[in-house]
Amino acid sequence: MKSFTQKILTAALTIMLVSCGGKTVQENAVKPPIAKQSHNRDNLRYIPVPRLAGRWTVEDVLQDYGTHSVKKLNPYFKRANVPYPPSEIIFVALKEEKKLELWAKGDGEFRFIRDYPIQAASGISGPKLRQGDRQVPEGVYRITTLNPNSNYHLSMKINYPNEFDLSHAQEEGRFDPGGDIFIHGKAKSIGCLAMGDEAIEELFVLAAHVGKENIKVVIAPRDPRVLPLDTEAEYLPYWTGELYDQIASEIQMLTPPVSMSKNSTVSQTSSQ
């Protein structure tokens, strides 16, 4: 009996470890059917909603979190003089700084809106190469899926591996470059960007309002506006320089005013 129990616990732990970026458990796996509750934070109380976990739609998320999330986002958009919802947005994820910047535009140029702390992002500087390396990928990506039934509260899937990743994997004989990379809630990561639940609610609602086809995601080892990206480390593949040129080109056109960069994250309490 003890041996059987140990096997069950080991199996459960394995599922938890691979479900973020691996393929053993898909990100859209249905959770146990427990009642979901609506967060009516304006009244500081919860209103039960007759929906089961695993059966939520994007529309359900917008109904439950939309009003409050937009209320929190509006001061940032007004300060940047960008209408809400914007026509396009860019997420800039900086590994070393553990920060996700939000940029948006209406009819004009992209403007800095705010940033969010990244709660967890596994791995080190450098691109993702294979399944199981626990690396957060680096590159220029798109959002492919908004998942309201994530094991990590809510999630947005990026298109890793993209054409650049696949071409170099094929060239080098890497037949399993990995996949299932998400921006999600909670504070645990194995190759994904974990933003915490409140932040992912805002980002998910924003993405739904903008449309995933109008979202770009740039993931960098560090901010190239501060220091050039290092391509000299021995463990980096020979094509890292080409990749980092692409990343730097995308980020360096986004230069926040000093006043915004120093005060990028307004107190949560001031916007609630």
Task: Flag whether pLDDT at 40 surpasses 80.
Answer: no
Q: What is the mean pLDDT of the chain?
A: 83
Q: Which two tokens stand for residue 152?
A: 């990590």
Catalytic residues, by residue number, are 184, 192
Q: Mean pLDDT over residues 137-161, rounded?
A: 97
The pLDDT of residue 114? 97
pLDDT band at 54 (very low <50, low <70, confident <90, very high): confident
pLDDT band at 67 (very low <50, low <70, confident <90, very high): very high
The pLDDT of residue 28? 40
Q: Mean pLDDT over residues 50-59, rounded?
A: 79
Instruction: Return the CATH number of 35-224+233-254, one of 1.10.357.10, 2.60.40.10, 2.40.440.10, 3.20.20.140.
Output: 2.40.440.10
pLDDT band at 166 (very low <50, low <70, confident <90, very high): very high
The pLDDT of residue 30? 35
Q: Mean pLDDT over residues 180-197, rounded?
A: 96
Task: Flag whether pLDDT at 265 surpasses 60.
Answer: no
The pLDDT of residue 270? 35
The pLDDT of residue 55? 86
Tokens 């427990």 belong to 34
Task: Flag whether pLDDT at 2 surpasses 50.
Answer: no
Q: Helix/strand/coil (H, E, C) string of the chain?
A: CHHHHHHHHHHHHHHHHHCCCCCCCCCCCCCCCCEEEEEEHHHCEEEEEEEECCCCCHHHHHHHHHHHHHHHHHHHHHHHCCCCCCCEEEEEEECCCCEEEEEEECCCCCEEEEEEECCECCCCCCCCCCCCCCCCCCEEEEEEEEECCCCCCCEEEECCCCHHHHHHHHHHCCCCCCCCCEEECCCCCCCCEECCHHHHHHHHHHHHHHCHHHEEEEEECCCCCCCCCCCCCCCCCCCHHHHHHHHHHHHHCCCCCHHHHHCCCCCHHHHC
The pLDDT of residue 271? 36
Residues of 92-127 as b/e, b for ≥16 C-beta within 10 angstroms? bbbbebebbbbbbbbeeebbbbbbbebbbbbbebbb
For the chain, what percent of residues have pLDDT higher than 90? 72
Task: Flag whether pLDDT at 261 surpasses 80.
Answer: no
| Cα angle: 159, vertex 165, 167; to 5 degrees | 125
